[in-house]
Amino acid sequence: MRSFFTSLALVAGTYAQSSAYTDANTGITFQRYLDSEGVSFGIAIPETPASDFIGQMVAPSNGSGYAGVSLASEMTGSLLVVAWPNNDSVVASLRETRSGYTSPGVYTASGLSMSPILNGTFVNSTHMAYTFLCSGCMGLTLSFAGNSTSITLGWALGTQSVTNPSSASTASFTYHDGGFGNFGLTLSSATSASYASWAAMATNGTGSGGSISNSTCTSTATNVTATVSNSTYDYIVAGAGPAGIIVAERLAESGKSVLLLERGQASTYVTGGRSTMAWNDTITQYDVPSMAYYLSTASDTSEYCTDVASMAGCILGGGTMVNAMMFVRPQEADFNDKWPAGWKFPDVKASADRLYERNPGTTLSSDDKQRYDQSAWDVLSPFFRSIGYREIDAIQSPNEKTRVFSHPPWDIQDGLRAGPVKSYLPLAKAMSNFKLTLNTKVVRAVRNGSTISGVEVEHSTGARQIININPGGKVILASGSMSTPRILYNSGIGPTDQITTVANGCTGIRLPSQADWINLPVGKNLRDHPIFTMTFNTTANATSLLSTDFLSPSTSNIDLFAKGSGPLAQSGQRFNFWTSMSTANGTRYFQGTCNSPAAGQVRIKLYLTHGATSSGVLGITSDGATEFTTNPWMNTDADKTAVITLIDSLLDAARNSSSLIPSSTMSGASLVSNYITGDHFVGTAMMGSSNDGTAVVDTDTKVFGTDNLFVVDASIHPDLPTGNTQAIIMVVAEHASSKILALGNSATNSSSIATAPKNSTCKASTTSGSRRQPKRRMTTFMRYGV
């Protein structure tokens, strides 16, 4: 899946330059780039550049979609000016691009704003124009310097409708399917003595193209009304990702009534999903393993959450529907190193065995027992043998994680994407005491002191409803590391500053009284795998299947897939390896996933995994989205040293080999800060043996300070595993379900009990007080799956 600006890496001489242009509507003279697609972007700056500039973006428009310009040449980590039509108005926002799957997040640094110049801002039958003063926008690490002679920027167009188009802060948009590119501007020719009079035309008024500020939400909802459902349940599980499905199914086996809530839509064809393939209308894009690397170019890109700090799947199956299907069974050390008593590997082994019986994973996914498109394996396996690595089967030997390689372990069954949607959900749906509800977002746990009485949900229409549990019932949060913290904050659980942001925000959340707030370190201990990419030319005969082989496959491959075989029944990786490094402050593990991106090339994506010491913090914005307040990647010197050492050792070996040719400038030092995110987040509601200020849940997964609120997802994991997270998340869910069941439940065995008149209502209001400016929100956009 591609980054927002996949192709913005510079190649000298391949990008267009600018020329002078005077806009007839405003009289402003810009240095302007004009693309053959009809996209233009112009800049004007004062004779003595400081931090402000005037910009003008014009793009083709049919009344929907968006246009964006990146203020830096890098494909990620740049400031993005994005604008879109909303009826007869233009709405614009400052965003930040990062690697990942979600819509770029609002950039909220203090002192930045965009104010439109109304004469140059309009929507007509063919085009949209946005002319604006960008205050404080030059000289940032995410943008260009005002004293540069020339700069390189990037543009992108999207044709699909923007979600929440009336709001600059909450709107979201998808992959740039209308085109993208990079261009040069001669900034030294953009100066003018008339700049001050032009800048004075910028307005702070509202209406068409009104002042854009990213610092606060636009309104405060104080009278959000929720109806009360007339059905109650013994267990309510919030989130139908891998953890939620497994725990819901195991709880339903007890005979108690279980409601599983998912904010997204159906995914696979058998669950009701209808995002079908052009070449087969009885399967969806989520069923086909080979589509794992191409979901962002598929017909439907609604599977990603748009209000989280980084990638998360908002669809039935969660991350297991949008990941690249790596199924790395955890090694014993993944549990033994940092998990508390009761969660060491001997404790969880039986739970792992139960999982693998239903959902085993495989290193040979094609039913005909053949492997397809193996040039990367053919090149890399002899190379790694030559430097002392040995071949294993990663499914059969999960404890082998040092100097070993394997065919990729995938979560594929019967030639289709597997996971709990395939292996657990059908068992749950066969039980009369189980109910699944889609398109329903859990907003908060409703609590009175320490006791949870139910959940408040928001339906796809925006209507809210309270669903209660039976006496003795339990609520289990399984919304993932990026979203479970939001539910906890909205429930008055977490650091005081985050709950205060909710109280002063614009989401209409009814919080408990401040005296009942529970101060726990929600959002802290955030961890993720950083990934470093090395691409090598090769002297071997390396071929590579093109994207068209998967998006528009041949008849022979379609026929093979119908039999559960062929390249369509494989994910994108072709070779995997693992190794470790002993350091003064512990052992660090590494994983590599490899393929051939083009003929004559092989690519290694190197993950820093178990033993990494970097961590971050996840917070919440006033409009209810989660954000990184501290980035979790590569913020310790020990992690940087380990990565540099391993990369350099691989590059040295490659330069001494007869098959791999790395770039002469590639080194560990050049790559250590050039990483993409693994989007394998853990730790934001960490488990601990006691309420000592570091943990959020106890060893039964119950939230400290509550009687019956539990968390079962990646957020409770105290540490990163050695590989991709989906397998260990499933193991933990199996074990957690047994812990919760062992606590007992005094509720009745009824699946639906009327406890309130249907359509009765209650009002939810926020606490009054001054608004707190949200911290800088750093989110991610689409890239190739890992």
Catalytic residues: 680
**Which of 605, 547, 533 has its CA nearest to residue 576?**
605
Contact status, residue 397 vs residue 576, Cβ threshold 8 Å: no
Write the CA distances from 151 to 184, 282, 670, integer angstroms.
6, 49, 22
Contact status, residue 627 vs residue 620, Cβ threshold 8 Å: yes
Residue 259's beta-bridge partner residues?
236, 435
Residue 665: half-sphere exposure toward Cβ, Cα within 13 Å: 1
Backbone angles phi, psi at 721, to 5 degrees: -85, 180
- Tell me the torsion sign for CA atoms 689, 691, 695, 701: positive
Contact status, residue 314 vs residue 235, Cβ threshold 8 Å: no
3-state helix/strand/coil string of 437-506: ECCEEEEEEEEECCEEEEEEEEECCCCEEEEEEEEEEEEEECCCCCCHHHHHHHCCECCHHHHHHHHCCC
∠ at Cα 736 (741, 454), nearest 5°? 65
Count other Cβ atoms within 10 Å, centred on residue 274. Answer: 10
Contact status, residue 150 vs residue 190, Cβ threshold 8 Å: no
Q: How far apart are the C-alpha atoms of 168 and 409, rounded to whole Å?
A: 42
Write the CA distances from 207 to 86, 91, 122, 211, 342, integer angstroms.
11, 9, 11, 9, 59
- 113 in helix, strand or coil? strand
Count other Cβ atoms within 10 Å, centred on residue 229. Answer: 22
Q: How far apart are the C-alpha atoms of 484 and 493, rounded to whole Å?
A: 11
**Which of 604, 593, 590 has its CA nearest to residue 536?**
604
Backbone angles phi, psi at 300, to 5 degrees: -130, 120
Contact status, residue 66 vs residue 57, Cβ threshold 8 Å: no
Q: Which two tokens mark 554?
A: 């041949």
**Which of 183, 144, 185 has its CA nearest to residue 35?**
183
Q: Which two tokens mark 162?
A: 């923007």
Amino acid sitting at position 487: I
Number of residues that make up the chain: 786
Q: Which two tokens mark 376?
A: 């990367």
DSSP per residue over 647-703, as a string?
HHHHHHHHHTSSSEE--TT--HHHHTT-EEE----B-TT-B-SS-SSS-SB-TTSBB
Q: How far apart are the C-alpha atoms of 503 and 508, rounded to whole Å?
A: 8
E strands present in 87-126:
89-97, 105-106, 113-116, 122-123
Amino acid sitting at position 512: P
The alpha carbon of residue 577 and the mean position of all alpha carbons in its chain are separated, in whole angstroms, by 25
Interacting residues of 369 by C-beta distance below 8 A, sequence separation 6+: none
Contact status, residue 113 vs residue 136, Cβ threshold 8 Å: yes
Amino acid sitting at position 18: S
Residue 303: half-sphere exposure toward Cβ, Cα within 13 Å: 33
Backbone angles phi, psi at 534, to 5 degrees: -125, 125
